[in-house]
Amino acid sequence: MTAALVARVGASRVDVEPNELAAYARDRGALAAAGAPSAVVRARSTGDVVAALQVATAHRVPVVTRGAGTGLAGGANAHDGCIVLSTLGMDQVLDVDIAQRTATAQAGVLTADLQAAVVQHGLWYPPDPASRAISTIGGNIATNAGGGCCLRYGVTGDHVAALTAVLADGTVIRTGAATRKNVAGLDLTRLLVGSEGILAVIVEATVRLRRPPAPLSTLLATFASPPDAGVAVLALQRVADLSLLELMDRTTIGAVERLAGAGLDTTAGAVLIAQADVAETARCVAAMEGAGATAVTSTSDPVEAEALLDARRYALPALERLGVALLDDVVVPILAIPEMLARIEEVAARHRIVIGAFGHAGDGNLHPTIVLDPGDPRAEAKAKAAFREILAAAVGLRGTITGEHGIGLLKRPHLDAVIGAPERALMARIKDAFDPLGILNPGKAI
């Protein structure tokens, strides 16, 4: 099989060296199983992807598509003997269409690079996962990534107009249209969004752009506890149409301060970082004070604002410095946020474990992150129990088990809690229609 790959895509793009294979075996998610790939293909073009998939199909070898490997659910983890198909070398922004307000990019373009490329044309690509500097647009589409600004502007999938993708047998398909409206046929674009590499390999994407927003006011509020901050989320919801509303609890604040020295109050039980239209600042301050904030400050200085957002972006890397970080990605209805935050604290106290909670509070999307001591043999079992209990708590509050990281391998055992048997069977039939031999990322996502 390796000889066939080399013949079709060239020796310089195929790697079988053991250290390289190990580097491509897993993503950033903790505790999900990972096998040993037999080859890594570093695609540079759609032609490379077609060739690799044709070889894989001929040899009946599974293919794990990989962007930057920053996923947190084991979605890009290798299967024993698989081909890891890396799109990271497909890194060209192909077109920025100012009149249509679209950009077309290869799948391996880093999200921040796409954002920088369109800014030069006076345009803005809103989806802003905290990993935007290190994750790819293809990976963002395959996971339907969220981020801070997604509160007002919608998640990645809301910005995808058209895709070029390659099916497992090498057939190239084009979905959607660059036009502002299009309802021709079934919406295959939307089906590929969030499909976690199990239906097709996305090779190019046309995304919708906006004009940059007017300058915003950025607010920082401290609270005695995460549930108190949750009450303020509800209060803000009633008075303003926020652009961003992020939460960090005391454990996360402490970790961020140790990593980055961002100047946050380490005695606070929780902080909220909000962005609102300047005209709504006073209303937001009053709402947070009325909901029990111990201090609220605001700034219209973009440099100060970016420093605060950076502090929030450090949350996961900072917690990862404390130990192995097992990240949940639960979403609850807005009204249930205070209760969900209280449940997370209860789980941490009962198991006597460290859980750092942070997340996109305005969307009800929380990332309780269980920090394990890798040297403690009982830690993994306790962490897994806490992980399950947090998922169950979210489902019990009429929430769901993932808002943006996907199911991958990590949450597949819990899928029945949120998707019924008929719907799961239908998803299996859709997978079968795209990939009848089950080549693409088998055993993941559905």
Ligand X SMILES: Cc1cc2nc3c(=O)[nH]c(=O)nc-3n(C[C@H](O)[C@H](O)[C@H](O)COP(=O)(O)OP(=O)(O)OC[C@H]3O[C@@H](n4cnc5c(N)ncnc54)[C@H](O)[C@@H]3O)c2cc1C
Task: Give CA 91 to chain center in angstroms.
Answer: 19
DSSP-derived 3-state class of residue 155: coil
| Least Å from the CB of residue 142 to ligand X | 3
CA distance 174 to 154: 23
Toward ligand X, which CB reaches closer, 27 or 277?
27
CB atoms within 10 A of CB 31: 17
Toward ligand X, which CB reaches closer, 264 or 291?
264
143, 215, 233, 389, 412 from 363: Cα distances, Å: 17, 22, 10, 21, 23
Concatenate the DSSP letters of all residues of 350-412 into one string. Answer: HHT-EEE-EEEGGGTEE--EEEE-TT-TTHHHHHHHHHHHHHHHHHHTT-BS-SSS--TTTTG
| Least Å from the CB of residue 141 to ligand X | 7
Toward ligand X, which CB reaches closer, 140 or 275?
140
E strands within 29-145? Answer: 39-42, 63-66, 83-86, 93-97, 102-106
| Least Å from the CB of residue 146 to ligand X | 4
- 214 sits in which H/E element: none
Contact yes or no for 194/221 (Cβ under 8 A): no
| Least Å from the CB of residue 28 to ligand X | 4
Toward ligand X, which CB reaches closer, 20 or 339?
20
- Measured N-to-C along each axis, helices 379-396 and 337-351 cross at an angle, to the nearest 10 degrees, of 160
Toward ligand X, which CB reaches closer, 110 or 391?
110
Q: Which residues bind ligand X (CB under 6 A)?
A: 27-28, 64-72, 75-76, 87, 107, 129-131, 135-136, 138-140, 142-143, 145-147, 196-197, 201-202, 316-317, 404-405, 441
Toward ligand X, which CB reaches closer, 64 or 235?
64
| Least Å from the CB of residue 94 to ligand X | 15
Toward ligand X, which CB reaches closer, 292 or 442?
442
Toward ligand X, which CB reaches closer, 291 or 313?
313
14, 50, 59, 117, 326 from 5: Cα distances, Å: 7, 11, 11, 33, 36
| Least Å from the CB of residue 295 to ligand X | 26
Task: Give CA 80 to chain center in angstroms.
Answer: 25
| Least Å from the CB of residue 230 to ligand X | 19
- 164 sits in which H/E element: strand 160-166
Toward ligand X, which CB reaches closer, 103 or 291?
103
CA distance 266 to 273: 15
| Least Å from the CB of residue 372 to ligand X | 17
CA distance 19 to 16: 9
Q: Which residue has the tokens 């394990």?
A: 372
| Least Å from the CB of residue 87 to ligand X | 4
